[in-house]
Amino acid sequence: MSRQNYLFTSESVSEGHPDKVCDRISDAILDAFLEQAPEARVACETFATTNRVVVGGEVRGPQAVIDSVEDIVRECVRDIGYTQDGFHADTLEVTNLLHEQSVDISMGVDASDDKEEGAGDQGIMFGYAVDETEVLMPAPIHYSHAILARLALERKSGVGPAAVLGPDMKSQLSLRYVDGRPMGATSIVLSTQHLDETLTSRDVRAIVEPYIRETLPAEWITDETEWLVNPTGKFVIGGPDGDAGLTGRKIIVDTYGGAAPHGGGAFSGKDPTKVDRSAAYAARYLAKNVVAAGLATKCTLQLAYAIGVARPLSIYVDTHGTGKVEEAAIEAAIAKAMDLTPRGIREHLKLNRPIYQRTAAYGHFGRTPDADGGFSWEKTDLIEAIKSAL
């Protein structure tokens, strides 16, 4: 039997965190390709350090997008809010090393007369859902994201006390679980860059605490909750000037905050033929619909693929003792309810669209589906199909 009474902690990082700057740039470049060529192939990596951004990777798409990389980089950095001496949208140096995709990879992935379109790589992908929150995400990561998203909104408004905060932030939330349900925050950790060098940790707490209290359930914060705001003191130098960044280095932040397993592949900068991304979205979509259908209160789902092979090698479901039906029956039902080939996933979730830049910060899961198709994997429109297959 799983533990019912325990503490669990998750962290999030803001759009201005060095790694998230890189995720944003990689996904913005991906969106630029998909906007011009929905079937483009993109595997884009970004590295950032003091006043320098290096973009590299393999692509198959319009040359015009490759030529526009520098403009895309500067616009991302400017929108995030970096105009500091060590990392400035207008003065940083951009190196563009994008090149043509390997013909060996494209041969294995492309469809032909005698072959279905194959997966862009081998790997295992996980999806997870739990009824701790309305969006069926684990509460620690959901609220860690929510704190930073709220502070970013206030910071970028340019008015109010949060206007003195910088783009680089990290949050960490420890929750107390009783009988398997989150009941309170034992500690709240926030480190945020600030533009006013005279601010103390106490000053920064006075700025951020009201927003954090508005974001968390009121009953979770008590006199016993420990607050650690900028515990190292001054935090003026932030972003890639303070710490180098790299695409794909925050995959626990991107997924479930450590409350569930995730695959070995990062998401950002990869077009949806790469099952690291598309199958992870499909796994979340299926797990969420299983829980939304009332078949379990918690569901972990694994998919496995081989490069160049269309069909998943295996489907695994674990409802952690909360299931209303056998896991094997759910596995069979989801295989009937959704085509889990790479093309089937892309067409079902309509992934060949420029919808990825918005995923780069505050989590790929637990978000509200957008009218233009963004976060389509967060819909719960497969409930009836799964029940019918059962």
Does residue 379 belong to any structural domain of this protein? yes
155-175: pLDDT as tens digits: 999 999 999 999 999 999 999
Asked if residues 202 and 231 have their Cβ atoms less than 8 Å apart, the reply is no
Entry field: residues in the chain: 390
Does residue 347 belong to any structural domain of this protein? yes
Does residue 82 belong to any structural domain of this protein? no
- CB atoms near residue 3 (< 10 Å): 8
The yes-or-no answer on residue 250 being catalytic is yes
Asked if residues 386 and 317 have their Cβ atoms less than 8 Å apart, the reply is no
322-379: pLDDT as tens digits: 999 999 999 999 999 999 999 999 999 999 999 999 999 999 999 999 999 999 999 9
> Over 60: is that where the pLDDT of 1 sits?
no
Last residue of a domain, one of 218, 238, 258: 238
Asked if residues 148 and 13 have their Cβ atoms less than 8 Å apart, the reply is yes
Does residue 58 belong to any structural domain of this protein? no
With a CB cutoff of 8 Å and minimum separation 6, the contacts of 386 are 289, 290, 293, 295, 330, 333, 334, 337
Given the residues 19, 27, 271, 318, select the one marked as catalytic: 19
The yes-or-no answer on residue 170 being catalytic is yes
59-100: pLDDT as tens digits: 999 999 999 999 999 999 999 999 999 999 999 999 999 999
- State the binding site for Mg(2+): 19
| 233/283 same-domain check | no
With a CB cutoff of 8 Å and minimum separation 6, the contacts of 310 are 116, 117, 118, 119, 341, 342, 343
Given the residues 60, 142, 176, 274, select the one marked as catalytic: 274
Rounded to two decimals, the pTM is 0.95
Does residue 356 belong to any structural domain of this protein? yes
CATH of the domain at 220: 3.30.300.10
Last residue of a domain, one of 217, 238, 259: 238
Asked if residues 46 and 74 have their Cβ atoms less than 8 Å apart, the reply is no
Measure the CA–CA gap between 275 and 28, rounded to whole angstroms.
Answer: 19
The yes-or-no answer on residue 288 being catalytic is no
To which residue do tokens 């919808």 refer? 355
Given the residues 250, 288, 346, 358, select the one marked as catalytic: 250
Range of the domain at 342: 123-131+274-389
| 127/168 same-domain check | no
Collapsed DSSP state (helix, strand, coil) of residue 199: coil
Last residue of a domain, one of 176, 210, 238: 238
Half-sphere exposure of 55 (CA within 13 A, CB side): 32
pLDDT the model gives residue 20: 98
